[in-house]
Amino acid sequence: MPSKFNILLISCLLTSFSSFATQHFAIAIHGGAGTISPSTVSADKIKLYEAKLKQATDAGYAILERGGSSLDAVNTAVNILENSELFNAGKGAVYTFDGMHELDASIMDGRTREAGAVASVKHIKNPINLARLVMTDSVHVMLSGSGAEEFALQKGMELVPNRYFDTISRYQSLQKAKEKIRKLESASSTASAFRANYVELDNEYKMGTVGAVALDKQGNLAAATSTGGMTAKRYGRIGDSPVIGAGTWADNESCAVSATGHGEFFIRYNVAADICAKVKYQKKSIEKASNEVIFGPMHKAGGTGGVIVIDNKGNIALTYNTVGMYRASRKQGEDAKVAIFAD
């Protein structure tokens, strides 16, 4: 018969093992969703996308592996995507109707529910870094426009000229989008007719975002999202990316989400927080919760896009109702999985 001591020892070892076993770490990232298919993207470009997605995932993974925080992991992964021309965020940001670039970003710490966001900044190379500074160094959550840049300067951040974000391919997209919008406007006699016709505008002009979610060894979740917004956007439009609850959400009790898609719908359906509410209140898996939100009433209303989700056990869901989504993930002890088109 086992002695009391042995029982204690076994029990203690089992507890330690179980506690160790649940401390999975993992990361997932996205580079936007849309009508991405082998017919719309060249084979060479696909390789570039895949390599950059892998690089960002591995960089975030390395931070988690050496015991770093999920906040550092998502921040670093997003920086790599922001610094690439391939994605609509940072360097690759699309143009506004007036030929400028206005960037949005947000970040959230699942441990404390602290959050930071910036909207419509024009001279910030890595908007996610400024969003993080808002979270850690300001008494606010959301700063916008030149005021956000004043804060950046006070914190010693260097500004870049708006033309830093100029790229030929995005400029060409702007011209095409403006031409289509003008045609829609002249074909629409009323505001509601324009709204109805606007649905026809290619979804590519309405989307494009980068984001990351991660779980670290300490069991903390984090999420980050960064974007150049909608091509040819006007009127100081703010999409879902800097809206906590819509484009970004992280709560250790449930999950972390970064979204990409037609932002107006993602705001109206509170997408990121709603997925985690289903996990928290209905005890649904992130797979089921994200399917219900991404393919539910929002989709029926016309909302397209996707999300990356991670829960506090390291499960990952990559869910989208578009043709494809630039995405990658890496779980503890595994290699990075990179994908662009449908499974």
- Could you list the residues that contact a second copy (CB under 8 A)? 108, 112-115, 119-120, 136-148, 150-151, 155, 191-192, 194-195, 198, 233-239, 243-246, 249, 263-264, 267-270, 273-274, 277-278, 281-282, 297, 301
Q: Six-digit token pair at 235?
A: 């009127």
| Burial environment of residue 310 by CB neighbours within 10 A (0 to 12, 13 to 18, 19 or more) | buried
- Judged by CB, which is closer to a second copy: 28, or 267? 267
- Judged by CB, which is closer to a second copy: 200, or 334? 200
Whole-angstrom CA distances from 247 to 8, 51, 203, 260 are 47, 25, 17, 7
Q: Is 112 a catalytic residue?
A: no
Q: Supply the Cα-derived Rg of the chain in whole angstroms.
A: 21
Catalytic residue among 57, 76, 209, 227: 209
- Judged by CB, which is closer to a second copy: 82, or 240? 240
- Judged by CB, which is closer to a second copy: 102, or 216? 102
Beta-bridge partners for 104: 227
Q: Which of 329, 69, 58 is nearest to 221 (CA)?
A: 69
Q: In the bound complex, what is the minimum distance in angstroms from residue 268's beta carbon to a second copy? A: 5
- Judged by CB, which is closer to a second copy: 77, or 273? 273
Alpha helices in 70-122 (DSSP H): 70-82
Determine the 3-state secondary structure of 31 from DSSP. strand
Q: In the bound complex, what is the minimum distance in angstroms from residue 63's beta carbon to a second copy? A: 22
Q: In the bound complex, what is the minimum distance in angstroms from residue 51's beta carbon to a second copy? A: 35
Q: How many CA atoms lie within 13 A of 76 on its CB side?
A: 19
Query: What is the amino acid identity at position 78?
Result: V
CA angle 336, 212, 83 (to 5 degrees): 90
What is the C-alpha to C-alpha distance for residues 38 and 246, in angstroms, rounded to an integer?
Answer: 30
Q: In the bound complex, what is the minimum distance in angstroms from residue 336's beta carbon to a second copy? A: 31
Residues that are catalytic? 209
